[in-house]
């Protein structure tokens, strides 16, 4: 059932600032080295949740992403109680490490891991419970902020789209020969919404408003999925109709309009809006048509900018310290939070050129990056939960050592 706020609480939330006002981490007494036991032991008092921790203002963001792939384990074939138990154990482990925020993937492919009138349920959800209501409540009980993470433009495959009920606007657009090919278009194996159209941007903003109106989340979050292609054929008709002369700038203007609408929607509910673009500003600007410099510099686009600096210090193309310096200089209006990559611990970094073996030969790359980011910026965010708390057997020893070093930094 949707979690609807009372009139008094809604008025209160509208008057509050949206970012960093929820809670700080509750530091559980569990030893960091015992996190695995905590994660795999049954949660207690499933019908009587622990008392929510007292609110504190977040002064530095220490976040982790919970991507949609995690739901295959947490949701598929699971009862509501089993799902809640796993979420509770996971969020207690996050709080024990010293984290204070979770980004919850609630729309990845034009779907919903919450009760929605606008989007169909995601495929990993096989039960009749409301995942977002449970995750938001459990996050707050663990002393964590909970931000709803959406991919605004990416949809399912055409085959999947043809299977969703025609009560949803996306299916109606799919069936409409005037909308299928304009509002939504194929790129790769998926369909994508085109942000050039006001009706598309309105649906995305309405989707964010639906979440904020019905759930006690602390913000809306998007990542780096903007334009899926540089091919001029993707939106040639819309570009021609626009009368614009510069395709690249026109696409950037469309992304700017979308981001601005999402920001304004979040602010209308007194909530935070954050963006996690790719780590290379040039790639964002030239290939994805995301003007991250503008969003970081000028008020009115985002509260937090969280570039994915998934690079090692020895990365031949984008060395970590150089990219950190670029973003530190660029972020003037938005808070700067650095996205880091525990998924690379112990792995070959095939895109790093001469630095491809750095994560294998140096076990402390992540913790050194975290230390620098915590010193110079407004925080860090880790991708992703499973990489840090339930790694593969091959990388588990190295991850365990890094997790202890990260925990020491965050405590």
Asked if pLDDT for residue 409 goes beyond 90, the answer is: yes
What is the β-pairing status of strands 272-275 and 304-305? parallel
Strands across the sheet containing 101-107: 335-336, 304-305, 272-275, 219-222, 145-150, 101-107, 61-66, 379-382, 338-340
Round to whole Å and give the CA distance between 222 and 195.
Answer: 14
% residues pLDDT > 90 (the chain): 85
Mean pLDDT of 151-165: 98
Cis status of the peptide bond prior to 307, with omega within 30 of 0: no
The rounded Cα 11 to chain-centroid distance in angstroms is: 27
pTM of the predicted structure, to 2 decimals:
0.88
Give the pLDDT band of residue 37 (cuts 50, 70, 90): very low
Average pLDDT, the chain: 90
Give the pLDDT band of residue 181 (cuts 50, 70, 90): very high
pLDDT for 249: 98
3-state helix, strand, coil in the chain (%, to 5): 45, 15, 45
pLDDT digits (tens, 9 = 90+) for 73-120: 999 999 999 999 999 999 999 999 999 999 999 999 999 999 999 999
Among the listed residues 381, 370, 391, the one whose alpha carbon sits nearest the alpha carbon of residue 39: 391
pLDDT for 19: 59
Asked if pLDDT for residue 3 goes beyond 50, the answer is: no
What is the phi-psi region of residue 225: left when phi exceeds 0, alpha when psi lies from -120 to 50, beta otherwise?
beta
Among the listed residues 282, 288, 262, 284, the one whose alpha carbon sits nearest the alpha carbon of residue 273: 262
Asked if pLDDT for residue 29 goes beyond 50, the answer is: no
Among the listed residues 212, 184, 222, the one whose alpha carbon sits nearest the alpha carbon of residue 116: 212
The residue to which tokens 């995305």 are assigned: 204
273-299 CB burial, b ≥16 within 10 A, e <16: bbbbbbbbbeebbeebbbbbbbbbeee
Round to whole Å and give the CA distance between 254 and 149.
Answer: 20
288: DSSP letter: I
Which pair of tokens denotes residue 366?
């992540």
Mean pLDDT of 372-377: 98
Asked if pLDDT for residue 25 goes beyond 80, the answer is: no
Give the pLDDT band of residue 399 (cuts 50, 70, 90): very high
pLDDT for 56: 56
pLDDT digits (tens, 9 = 90+) for 45-67: 333 444 544 445 688 999 999 99
Round to whole Å and give the CA distance between 289 and 231.
Answer: 12
20-41+53-410 CATH fold? TIM Barrel (3.20.20)
Asked if pLDDT for residue 28 goes beyond 70, the answer is: no
């Amino acid at each position: 059932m949707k979690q609807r706020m009372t009139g008094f609480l809604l008025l209160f939330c509208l008057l509050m600032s949206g970012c960093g006002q929820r809670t700080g981490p509750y530091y559980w007494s569990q030893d960091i080295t015992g996190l695995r036991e905590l994660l795999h032991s049954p949660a207690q008092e499933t019908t009587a949740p622990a008392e929510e921790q007292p609110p504190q203002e977040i002064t530095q963001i220490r976040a982790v992403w919970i991507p949609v792939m995690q739901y295959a384990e947490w949701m598929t074939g699971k009862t509501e109680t089993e799902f809640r138990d796993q979420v509770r154990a996971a969020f207690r482990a996050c709080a024990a490490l010293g984290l204070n925020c979770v980004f919850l993937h609630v729309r990845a492919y034009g779907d919903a891991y919450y009760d929605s009138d606008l989007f169909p349920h995601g495929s990993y959800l096989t039960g009749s419970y409301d995942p977002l209501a449970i995750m938001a409540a459990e996050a707050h009980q663990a002393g964590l902020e909970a931000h709803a993470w959406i991919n605004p433009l990416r949809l399912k495959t055409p085959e999947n789209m043809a299977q969703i009920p025609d009560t949803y606007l996306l299916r109606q657009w799919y069936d409409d020969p005037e909308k299928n090919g304009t509002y939504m278009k194929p790129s790769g194996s998926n369909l994508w919404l085109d942000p050039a159209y006001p009706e598309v941007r309105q649906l995305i903003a309405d989707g964010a408003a639906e979440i904020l109106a019905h759930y006690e989340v602390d913000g809306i979050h998007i990542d780096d999925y903007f334009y899926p292609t540089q091919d001029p054929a993707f939106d040639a008709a819309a570009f021609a109709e626009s009368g614009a002369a510069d395709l690249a700038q026109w696409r950037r203007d469309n992304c700017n309009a979308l981001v601005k609408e999402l920001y304004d929607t979040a602010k209308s509910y007194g909530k935070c809006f954050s963006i996690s673009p790719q780590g290379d500003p040039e790639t964002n600007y030239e290939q994805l048509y995301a003007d991250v410099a503008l969003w970081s510099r000028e008020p009115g686009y985002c509260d937090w900018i969280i570039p994915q600096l998934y690079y090692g210090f020895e990365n031949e193309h984008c060395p970590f310290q150089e990219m950190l310096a670029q973003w530190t200089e660029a972020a003037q209006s938005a808070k700067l939070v650095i996205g880091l990559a525990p998924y690379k611990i112990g792995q070959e970094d095939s895109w790093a050129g001469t630095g491809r073996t750095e994560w294998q030969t140096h076990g402390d790359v992540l913790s050194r990056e975290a230390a620098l980011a915590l010193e110079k910026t407004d925080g860090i965010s880790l991708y992703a939960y499973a990489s840090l708390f339930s790694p593969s057997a091959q990388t588990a020893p190295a991850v365990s050592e890094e997790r202890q070093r990260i925990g020491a930094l965050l405590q």
